[in-house]
């Protein structure tokens, strides 16, 4: 791939109704995430939001998206089932998907996981310490053995997800909980990464290590087109001679 085409999808509702969020993300969280990605080479970054026609995720838009980033929270139910199915099909066909923070409860993540994706949470302005548990994994490139976010929302285990193929990060919170905060999956040909940080009232998406992880995840999730896979009734490759008796 010459360039990886990234679409950052944002719900873009908190920013319009909560002055505290608008102060942190005056142009919307999706634009802050997109700006972080544009700092690095090799990515062509665009955005889409819930209130655009077809949530900004038309067939044409998805066809030219190599990796989709998803941030949603309070309006998960307003995402149409038709668009969710369209995104799911693109993932199965090889599009990468990066689900951020409260996206754990999005329709698209739940349908791809097949579980409730429920968890514990608390808003108490506490420190999050994120540990790299798979050093050498491409999503952890350039990250020391841990980094800290001074104030974040707490997410705690149990996180009701299927066993990840790889857990890249585990978070610790000041209140004592831990959380699998960087989880890799494959569904069909598509690579999926869940990354925990990013509560809307905190400037998390300006944090250098958070930006680095998201950019790394984009590069990990992007894959060149691969050959079609055949399913179904299949002719034998050589003549099958029935054995006697």
Q: How far is the CB of 199 from Zn ion (least distance, A)?
A: 4
Determine if 128 is a binding residue for Zn ion (CB under 5 A): no
Q: Which of residues 5, 30, 110, 199 is near Zn ion by CB under 5 A?
A: 199
> Rounded to whole angstroms, how far apart are CA atoms 171 and 202?
17
> Which residues from 136-195 bind Zn ion, rule CB under 5 A?
153
Determine the size of the site formed for Zn ion (CB under 5 A).
3
Pick between residue 12 and residue 220 the one whose CB is nearest to Zn ion. 12
Q: How far is the CB of 142 from Zn ion (least distance, A)?
A: 26
> Which residues from 61-90 bind Zn ion, rule CB under 5 A?
none
Other beta carbons within 10 Å of 191? 22
CB 124 within 8 A of CB 159: no
Eight-state DSSP code of residue 237 = S
Pick between residue 73 and residue 88 the one whose CB is nearest to Zn ion. 73
Pick between residue 121 and residue 131 the one whose CB is nearest to Zn ion. 121
CB 62 within 8 A of CB 89: no
Pick between residue 151 and residue 189 the one whose CB is nearest to Zn ion. 151
> Rounded to whole angstroms, how far apart are CA atoms 22 and 19?
5
Residue with nearest beta carbon to Zn ion: 199
Residues 90-109, one symbol each (x = binds Zn ion by CB under 5 A, - = not), give: ------------x-------
Q: How far is the CB of 201 from Zn ion (least distance, A)?
A: 8
Summarize as ranges the residues that interact with Zn ion (CB under 5 A): 102, 153, 199
């Amino acid at each position: 791939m010459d360039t990886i085409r990234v679409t950052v999808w944002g719900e873009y509702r908190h920013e319009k109704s909560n002055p505290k969020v608008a102060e942190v993300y005056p142009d919307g969280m999706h634009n802050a995430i997109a700006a972080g990605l544009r700092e690095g080479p090799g990515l062509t970054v665009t955005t889409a939001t819930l209130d655009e026609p077809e949530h900004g995720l038309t067939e044409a838009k998805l066809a030219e998206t190599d990796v989709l980033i998803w941030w949603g929270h309070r309006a998960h139910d307003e995402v149409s089932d038709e668009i969710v199915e369209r995104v799911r099909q693109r993932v199965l066909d090889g599009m990468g998907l990066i689900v951020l923070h409260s996206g754990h409860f999005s329709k698209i993540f739940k349908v791809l996981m097949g579980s409730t994706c429920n968890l514990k949470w608390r808003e108490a302005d506490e420190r999050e310490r994120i540990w790299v548990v798979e050093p050498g994994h491409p999503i952890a490139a350039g990250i020391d053995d841990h980094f800290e976010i001074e104030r974040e929302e707490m997410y705690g285990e149990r996180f009701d997800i299927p066993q990840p193929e790889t857990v890249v990060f585990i978070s610790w919170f000041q209140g004592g909980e831990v959380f699998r905060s960087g989880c890799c999956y494959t569904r069909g040909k598509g690579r999926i990464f869940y990354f925990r940080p990013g509560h809307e009232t905190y400037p998390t998406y300006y944090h250098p290590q958070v930006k680095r992880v998201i950019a790394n995840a984009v590069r990990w999730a992007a894959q060149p087109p691969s050959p079609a896979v055949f399913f179904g009734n299949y002719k034998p490759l050589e003549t099958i001679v029935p054995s006697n008796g």
